[in-house]
Amino acid sequence: MIVRHRILRLGTLPSSRYFSSFESTVKLPTGIAYRQPTGLFISNEFGASNDGKQLTTYNPRSGKPIANVFVAGSPDVDYAVQTAESALRSWRTTSGTDRGILLYRLCRLIEEHKTLLGSIEAFDTGKPLDTVVADDIQDCINVTRYYAGWADKIHGYSIQPFAEKFAYTLHEPFGVCALIVPWNYPLMLALWKLAPAIAAGNTVVLKPSELTPLSSLYLGNLITEAGFPPGVVNILSGDGNTGAVLASHPRINKISFTGSATTGKKIMHAAASNLIPVVLELGGKSAAIIFEDADLEQAVKWCYSGIMSNSGQICSATSRILIQESIYKKFVEMFKAYTIHRMSADPLDHGPQISDVQLEKVMQYVRSGIEEGAHLVYGGKEIIGPGYFMQPTIFADVRDHMKIAQEEVFGPVVVMDKFTTQSDAIQRANSSTYGLASAIFTKSLTLAVDTSQKLEVGMVWVNSSQDSDFRVPFGGFKMSGFGQELGEYAVKNYLRPKAVHLNLGVSL
């Protein structure tokens, strides 16, 4: 019997009066103080972990601690899954329209709390505040609203193979879905999973990264205020062990994971023991291909954003640029000049790495690049001072065999090389073990369409990079994982068809 000490909270208190003893007051860099939930969110209540274990989350801009949150252990995961499972009983009878209404309310609440959520996220991830509010949180609003609209538009099929058989398919939710999200877009990726899962009628156990738990825990307040029945959404802060316990739990019905390929494999392995279906959104080493007829100025800007945004901590980053030889030198110079221009305006504008561990990993790759003989065009150094900053780094003449050409660096490090023909570029881009995304820069219609068709990737951007859209599917091939997020495709991830045959006249 797990003893839980929880304070009952009414679900309808306005945000300024959320009260629970599992909160601490956090003062944001903007000067505003707010009450940050620190407990595990189960059944619309925050509570301590069973063993009281906690972890600390840090501000990557200063290296200083922000708050302690509880770490969910086995008994907590167990309790959350049980709760999510019991909630299914009545959640199953909730109409799609009503699920949609709850999601529309959640969307409105996120919008009302846009600045606060953005501030929490910026504080916990180190991202620039303006970008987080305008991009990440806006995306949260858009995604939640989009999936609210799908909730009552889930259609099965009716199939009449012959007169005596009438068949139909019911597209049913899986049940309890485990959603495990990383630290690079904490709240946004949480909603990319939560919104379609809920729209499809599932209940969820969401586990944010140990590096960035705050925004997801705060979301618990909004879940309750929106009026979701207790147990439909559960949020467990925790560490790698929490994720492992969750992924191997026998009573979950589906896992959706975003993170590294290494952890992805572990998740899939854990899921195999109970044959739980899995969606994996993993890493990438996405190539940007610059053809000689490209608008070079635009290509440089998009490619800069394609690797330096979020300090290179994007799964779909176009971190590897292949440039047609006739424009190679020019492109490298223009990219360098643009980088210098950005740095002169704000040397920290790409933001910090999320942690000291991550920073060291990236610097290791920088060192290996130098060792293996790549040409360091710009950067390559840590930025001395508080926080986990390093310089945007440009390597040129990076040959395919080099570590920095093959492995995901996940930092503001771009590698460049030249190519000869279209098929050369395609072959080299496809030689990656990953297959998440690609960007093509060209003015030619045929080149764009033809190259897109030949690249072994889940997403191709033509004349842009990283401008994903919540209405368009997002996902990869090969070691980048499987299963699409976003668009209509995401809803399908959270549904499984049941075929019903009505015998209308066949007698034995």
Partner 1 sequence: MSSTASVPLFQKFKLPNGVEYEQPLGLFINGEFVTGKEGKAFEVVNPSTGNVVGKVHEATAADVDIAVDAAETAFYDGPWSKMSSADRGHLLLKLADLFEENLTILASIEAFDNGKAIQLAKGDIGACIGCLRYYGGWADKIHGKVIETNSGSFNFTKQEPIGVCGQIIPWNFPLLMWAWKIGPAIACGNTVVLKTAEQTPLGGLFAAKLCKEAGFPPGVINILSGFGRTAGAAIASHMKIHKVAFTGSTLVGRQIMKAAAESNLKKVTLELGGKSPNIVFEDADIDRAVEWINFGIYYNAGQCCCAGSRVYVQESIYDKVIEAFRKRAQANVVGNPFDEATFQGAQVSEAQYNRIMSYVELGKKEGAKVEVGGERHGNEGYFIKPTVFSNVTEDMRIMQEEIFGPVCAIAKFKDLDDAISKGNSTTYGLASAVHTGSLSTAMEVANRLRAGTVWVNSYNTLHWALPFGGYGESGIGRELGKEALRNYTQVKTVSINLS
Shortest distance in whole angstroms from residue 14 CB to partner 1: 19
Q: Report CA torsion sign: 323, 324, 329, 334.
A: negative
Dmax (CA) of the chain: 83
Strand pairing report for 278-281 and 481-482: antiparallel
407 a catalytic residue: no
Residue 292 CA, distance from chain mean position = 33
The binding site for partner 1 (CB under 8 A) comprises: 97, 100-101, 104, 142, 145-146, 148-153, 155, 166, 445-446, 449-450, 453, 471, 488, 502, 504-505
Closer by beta carbon to partner 1, 100 or else 483: 100
**Sheet with 437-441, edge to edge strand ranges:** 375-378, 393-396, 413-419, 320-324, 287-290, 437-441, 459-462
Q: Of the listed 107, 177, 303, 315, which one is catalytic?
A: 315
Of 123 and 461, the one with the shorter C-beta distance to partner 1 is: 461
Asked if 281 is an active-site residue, the reply is: yes
Nearest distance from residue 470's CB to partner 1, in Å? 8
What single letter denotes the amino acid at residue 359?
L
Q: Could you tell me the sign of the dihedral formed by the alpha carbons of 231, 232, 237, 241, in that order?
A: positive
**Residue nearer to partner 1 on the CB measure, 272 or 502:** 502
Q: For residue 497, what are the β-bridge partners?
A: 171
SS3 assignment, position 349: coil
Residues 6+ apart with CB under 8 A from 284: 315, 316, 317, 319, 408, 434, 435, 436, 437, 476, 480
Catalytic-role residue among 23, 121, 210, 281: 281
Residue with tokens 């001395």: 384
Closer CB to partner 1, 10 or 159, in the complex: 159
Q: How far is the CB of 442 from partner 1 (least distance, A)?
A: 14
> Which DSSP helix (H) or strand (E) runs through 41?
strand 40-42
CB of 471 to partner 1, least distance (A): 5
Closer of 179 and 486 to partner 1 (Cβ): 486
Provide, rounded to whole angstroms, the least separation between the CB of residue 504 and partner 1: 6
Question: CB–CB of 241/55 below 8 Å?
Answer: no
Strand partners, 35: 25
Query: Are 198 and 103 spatial neighbours (Cβ–Cβ below 8 Å)?
Result: yes
Residue number with CB closer to partner 1 (97 or 364):
97
Return the number of the residue (30 or 97) whose C-beta is nearest partner 1. 97
Q: How far is the CB of 474 from partner 1 (least distance, A)?
A: 16
Quickly tell me which residue has 């939930």 as its tokens. Answer: 37
How far apart, in whole angstroms, are the C-alpha atoms of residue 218 and residue 400?
44
What are the C-alpha distances in Å from 224 to residues 46, 83, 122, 217? 11, 15, 23, 12
Which residue, 95 or 427, has its beta carbon nearer to partner 1?
A: 95
Sheet containing 45-47: give its strands across.
45-47, 40-42, 233-235, 203-207, 176-180, 254-258, 278-281, 481-482
Nearer to partner 1, 7 or 504 (CB): 504
Angle at 177 between CA 45 and CA 460, to 5 degrees: 120
Quote the CA–CA distance of 94 and 79 in Å, as a whole number.
23
Pair of tokens at residue 377: 């065009």
Candidates 403, 433, 434; CA nearest to 316 is 434
Q: How far is the CB of 345 from partner 1 (least distance, A)?
A: 30
CB of 163 to partner 1, least distance (A): 8
Q: How far is the CB of 91 from partner 1 (least distance, A)?
A: 19
Q: In whole angstroms, how large is the CA radius of gyration of the chain? A: 24
Q: Which residues are catalytic?
A: 281, 315
